[in-house]
Structure 1
Amino acid sequence: MKRLIALLLSLVLLGCGDDPLPKPNAFLRLEYPNADYKTAPVPLPFTFDKNELSSPIKTVKSSGSTKGVNIKYPSLKATIYLTYKEVTEGNLDSLLRDAQNLTQKHTIKADEISSNLFENDEARVYGMLYEIGGDAASQSQFYVTDSINHFLSGSLYFYAKPNYDSIFPASEYLKKDIKRIMESIRWQKK
């Protein structure tokens, strides 16, 4: 009996070790190249600076006075879609409302939508940048206009199921490109 108690006591003492410790959180480290911007040749009545990381621009023709430009980022699996429309008498309010409504459609999945007003009086470029947080289909949307002749809206989409944590680094990188597009827009005179 003494041997059995000694054996059990030694197993209990030897079997106890250090308590397991949880591993610290790790973060995925993604590094993107510094952006190199050049004026994009587009067959539309405006110019803007584009990141050289993106593919050559693809122009898309839509119905009526609507024309589009797609800026693809194959390495990031993303595209910035730009849609240009001419401002005519009486349609500016509906163009603004449509751009704002498109952003509001993401409220179902979005955790937050923040808006940043943009004004460049010298170049006559006025607009709004919407940053969308959460698992929404688009992470950024914007529009710019001169309020007289030109209206341009844009959206950022990834070729993946929206998972905010996974696409966050690429989304932040591309938001800088969107801001550069807005800052560098120059309308051609009519």
Structure 2
Amino acid sequence: MKYFIALLGLLTFLACKDDYTIKPIGHVRLEYPEPNYKSFISDCDFTFEYSDLAEKRDKENPCWFVLHYPDMKANIYLTYFPIQSQEDLAIKIKDSEKLVQEQTVKASYIAPREFIFEKKKVYGTLFELGGESAINLQFHATDSLKNLISGSVYFSTPPQYDSLQPAIQYMKKDVMHLIETLEWK
């Protein structure tokens, strides 16, 4: 009996020590509200809908804008180009795609998605970039005659693709809505 009590005391003593196991650092769960969309109003040759979570900011050039998402520390940079010729259009599209290709050093993948809205004369490509790329989404849209809009999504945080993934997917939906509602005046 004496040995039993000693053994029980020893087991109790050993069982009561602290656990110093290293645990992984957790990430904050990011959840965003369903967006409500409003019309983009300007004197430019285009219109579209954008999220009410974004603030429209003018840039120095006419018809260049930033849609700023303060809660996500994200921006959609929109650049409009009036097109003079088919050669001019090809150069501008190539410049837009060059920006994507420059990210191949950090991007783990680049997934292009073409879109065609024949009735509204909206044609273009959306590029989604994975990995630690500075740009997460890049797109251009044109009517193939007189107008071209180029857009890029940037986050004002270090590029950690896994932790930014919920915000990137949210922004992708907003960019898709922008493209789907784009119309030329």
Q: Given the two structures, how large is their TM-score scaled by the length of structure 2?
A: 0.85
SS in 1 for 2:152: strand
1:50 matched residue in structure 2 = 50
Matches within 5 A, 1:152-171: 152-171=149-168
Structure 2 unaligned blocks of 5 or more: none
Number of residue equivalences: 181
1:92 matched residue in structure 2 = 89
**Against the structure 1 CA distance between its residues 10 and 38, is the aligned structure 2 distance closer, same or farther, given a 3 Å change threshold?**
closer
Partners of 1:58 and 1:42 in 2: CA distance: 12
Partners of 2:103 and 2:153 in 1: CA distance: 13
1:121 matched residue in structure 2 = 118
SS in 1 for 2:113: strand
Identity across matched positions, percent = 36
1:144-176 CA-partner distances (Å, limit 9, x unpaired)? 000100000000001111111221111110110
SS in 1 for 2:31: coil
- Give the root-mean-square deviation of aligned CA atoms: 2.9
1:19-72 CA-partner distances (Å, limit 9, x unpaired)? x899799764322110101111123110000100111x122133xxx7411000
Q: Does 2:169 align with 1:180?
A: no
2:109 matched residue in structure 1 = 112
Equivalent residue letter for 2:103: H
Structure 1 unaligned blocks of 5 or more: 1-5
Equivalent residue letter for 2:135: S
1:60 matched residue in structure 2 = 59
Shift of 1:14: 6.3
Structure 1 segments, 4+ long, off by >6 Å, are 8-16, 20-27
Asked if 1 retains the 8 angstrom alpha-carbon contact of 2:112 and 2:125, the reply is yes
SS in 2 for 1:122: helix
2:71 matched residue in structure 1 = 75
SS in 2 for 1:41: coil
**Against the structure 1 CA distance between its residues 157 and 25, is the aligned structure 2 distance closer, same or farther, given a 3 Å change threshold?**
closer
Q: Does 2:132 align with 1:135?
A: yes
